[in-house]
Structures are given as C-alpha cells and as structure tokens.
Amino acid sequence: MYRTTASRLRAVKGGMGHRGLARFVSTSAVATKSTSGSFFSWLTGERSSSVPLDFPLKDIALPPPLPDYVEPGKTRITTLPNGLKIASETSVNPAASIGLYVDCGSIYETPASFGATHLLERMSFKTTTNRSHLRIVREVEAIGGNVTSSVSREHMSYTYDALKTYVPQMVELLVDCVRNPAFLDWEVSEQLQKMSAEISEYSKNPQHVLLEAIHSAGYSGPYANSLLASESAVNRLNSTVLEEFVAENYTASRMVLAASGVEHDELLKYAEPLLSDLPNVPRPSEPKPVYTGGDFRHQGDSGMTHFALAFELLGGWAKEKDSIILTVLQMLMGGGGSFSAGGPGKGMYSRLYLRVLNEHPQIQSFSAFSSIYNHTGLFGIQASTGSDFATNAIDIAVRELISVATPGEVDQVQLDRAKQSTKSAILMNLESRMVASEDIGKQILTYGERKPVEHFLKAVDEVTAKDIASIVQKLLSSPLTMASYGDVLYVPSYDAVSSRFHSK
C-alpha cells in the first residue's frame, strides 16, 4: 500500500488526496451594522464607523475564484544517465516537500557496520564539506523550513519542507547534506553518546522491545538486524565506518529525489547538475529474507506481561494483492488500549475491541500489527496484561487469529467497514505533502514507478471475506514467532502456543 514510515503510520500518512477547495467569493452587499457602539464592539474594534469586512475596497483586485475541483497532479519521472531518478507531482499547495530516498536500510549492514544506519540518521544535516552545522540550521530557519530524516530496514530518507518559492535553496542544501557529509570526529562522538542514552531509553519501552525482538527471533540474516545499534556496536562505530558505508551504498541507481508541490522541469533544472556526477554503480542484489520463527523472552522490571505473536507474509510488496489484503485485515482486527486519551470512538467497532477489550478488563492493550517489506512481511497481535492473566491473554490471541482464518467468521458489514477505513486512511495520509513525497520516492524504489492512488483503492474494494480467510491461513502455516517482556513467568512455552495453531 502507500509506503509510509513510519510512521510514523502519525504513522502516518499530496497530490492524490486533495480536498475540494472552497472558492473565494465576494459580494457588493453591505451588511447593516448597529450605530450604537457597545463594550464588545469596542473590544473587537467593530465601531460603527469601521468598514465592513465584506465591503469591496476601491481599486483592490480580488483574486480569481478557485474551481470546485482541481485535477490532481500527475507524477513525472526522469532517469538521469547515471541511473538516479528524479520524480515530482504538482499541487496547489503553497509549500513543497522534497526528499532524497536511498535504497539502504539496516538490512544492508554487515558485522563490521552494525548500527551504521542508526548513526547516519543522527548525523543527518550535520556539518558538510561546504557548510557548518550552524550554517545549515540558520539557512533552514531563514526560510521557515523543516528538515527531517528517518531510517527503516530497507530505506534511508532525508526530507526538506518549505514554501515552494525556495525550491532552489531546498534542493541545493538537501543534496549537499546527503552527498557531502564531513563526519567530523567530535560530531560523531557527540551523537554516539546520545545514541547510548537512546538505546537505554528504548530498552525500557515494551512496544519497541517486542517489535525488534519479533524481527531478531523471527528472521535469520539481514532482516534480523535491529534499527537501533547495540551498545557493542556503539563502541565500534566511527567516522571511517560511516564513510565506507556511504561510499558503498549511496550510489545513483539506489537513489530517488522525489518532490510534492514542485513543477518537474523546475526540479530537474536545479537537481540534475548536482546529482548527475554520482557514480553509476550497478545495483546490488537485495538481501534475501530468511524467516525461521522463534522465541524471545526477557524478564524486565515491569509487573506487567507484554507479548507478541507473529507470522510471516511471504512475498511482501512483491505480492501486492496479498499485502493489500493484509492491510485490510489489520484494519478489520484493529484493537487498541483500554483507555483512549483522545476520547471514545476510534476503532471501537474493530473485532479486537468488541471481542477482547470490551470483554476482558484485565487486558490493558490488545491490537493487530503488521510490518511489510519488499519481499517479506510480518503480521500478528501484541498485547499488555497483568502477569496473572498472561496465559489467558495468549489463548485469546490464538483464538482471534484462528477465528479470522475460519471461512464465514468475518461478516460483510465488518469487512465493508474495514475496507472503507483503509481507503480513508490512504487518502487522508496523502493530504500530507511530506507523506506524498515519501510515497513517490519509496514506490519508485520498490516498483520502479509510482502507481496512482486509484489503483490501490480499487484493490481494496476487491478484497473479499474469502481473501481474508485465505491470507490468514497462509500466515498460520508459517512458523510462529513469539516475544515476551516484563513478568514472563506465566507465559506458556513456545511449543505449547505453536501447537495450538495446528491442533485439529
């Protein structure tokens, strides 16, 4: 589906989802106002002698009214001679988001470079061979811009967001920061210290621990690499490791410059001279996922039990139909926490809310999750509960997964609601120009093109209840991956839980 980091599903998630824009209208009618001024009219400046706000001013030209419907911009792609792709779509938004996306995440790390992508994320927009870090900060501030970076298992992302009148400055600074990092020893040392603090903080976050544990226990090889460097890796990382990693992986054929809200010819004009001299190195074969399943347990200080059960989606985005069905399945199962700070109503009709959270007050959170990559993916349930209810909660998770794998268990009303929610999430995410830019870049890295949003909406509409049961049956046929954290004393054995999915 539309690749969003993150995200930052904020998570997460443009040109393809524009709302109808309200027209500016004017009238020659003058509103009648009271001639007696009250305290409130004085307070708000609405004196009887003031000119009404709807009164047309002499010799002032009004802007032309916008149409009720604006045709979404089409994505245009240009491939430079060295293999680097430049893509963009226009929009009526006064701001633009430009991103440089690299086909290089933690799965490309070797034993010698473990943790390099984590450090690269922290070193983004630091000193380059042309600018000091202070100058970069001042230049971004001067135009009211915003720069961000993120790392996933398959991609590195660098994004610059500002008013579209500053496109030349945005492109030049963005390319400079990605292509010419100085990796000053003192800046690297400073970020390594911050990484150690970050690692310590995340090691106490149950959700983060479970997500990384599911990957490290479920996969053997590159996909087991953590997004967070280990303490031992922090002690080995330095400027030389970063320079070698960037030189090997930041090549033209593995990079896409994508923009939302920028005319393609304008983007090409400024970007091509800055990127055309990148080395034309053949794209290496992508690391292959090796899924094995497994068990992870960590006794933590928490009196709660946090656990996750997951299975592999074979094929990932390479099998697009299966990935879209899985996305609808996640929306169908839903879930969440027993307390919602934002008020009631969010996902309250999902299966896990109705069948689990509403029925078992001992459970604090219970939700479906998925992580989909180019050639593999994970789907499962994660939950938090009191330790004395851990065995029951795991039994409930097993029951819910088996239930959706049973033909006839998912009714059409539930499925239609999940499909509408999925389409709504896609369109609302694409209203963000930063998400639209990221979507363009990552789709091109994955498919070599940017598929229109209508393609995915149509695929969601075509999902049937039979598809849901079939995809869950495929999932449950793969080995179980199980992770638990906190008070794990009452967590059943791996074999006991795994056998539940295959018992007749």
How high is the pLDDT of residue 28?
38
What crossing angle do the helices spanning 167-179 and 133-142 adopt, rounded to 10°?
160
CB atoms within 10 A of CB 114: 20
How high is the pLDDT of residue 196?
95
Q: Which residue has the tokens 């393809």?
A: 16
How high is the pLDDT of residue 285?
85
How high is the pLDDT of residue 334?
92
Tokens of 307: 């656990």
DSSP 170: H
- Per-residue pLDDT tens listing for the chain (504 residues): 444 433 433 333 344 443 333 333 333 333 444 444 554 454 455 555 677 777 777 877 777 777 787 777 899 999 999 999 999 999 888 999 999 999 999 999 999 999 999 999 999 999 999 999 999 999 999 999 999 999 999 999 999 999 999 999 999 999 999 999 999 999 999 999 999 999 999 998 999 999 999 999 999 999 999 999 999 999 999 999 999 999 999 999 999 999 999 999 999 999 999 999 998 888 888 899 999 999 999 998 878 999 999 999 999 999 999 999 999 999 999 988 876 555 555 557 899 999 999 999 999 999 999 999 999 999 999 999 999 999 999 999 999 999 999 999 999 999 999 999 999 999 999 999 999 999 999 999 999 999 999 999 999 999 999 999 999 999 999 999 999 999 999 999 999 999 999 875
Q: Which residue has the tokens 């800046």?
A: 187
CB atoms within 10 A of CB 427: 18
Q: What single-letter amino acid sits at 218?
A: G
Residue 94's Cβ-count burial label (10 Å; 0-12, 13-18, 19+) is: exposed
What crossing angle do the helices spanning 239-249 and 116-123 adopt, rounded to 10°?
100
How high is the pLDDT of residue 394?
98
Q: Which domains does the chain have, with CATH numbers?
A: 76-275 (3.30.830.10), 294-500 (3.30.830.10)
How high is the pLDDT of residue 347?
57
Q: Rounded to two decimals, what is the model's pTM?
A: 0.84
Determine the Cα–Cα distance for residues 105 and 222; give it in Å rounded to an integer. 10
- Write out the E strands in 115-272: 146-151, 156-163, 255-260
Tokens of 253: 């054929």
Backbone angles phi, psi at 438, to 5 degrees: -65, -40
Question: Which residues fall within 8 angstroms of residue 468, CB to CB, at 6 or more apart?
Answer: 325, 328, 329, 332, 404, 410, 415
DSSP string covering 217-259, please? HHB-SGGG--SS--HHHHHH--HHHHHHHHHHH--GGGEEEEE
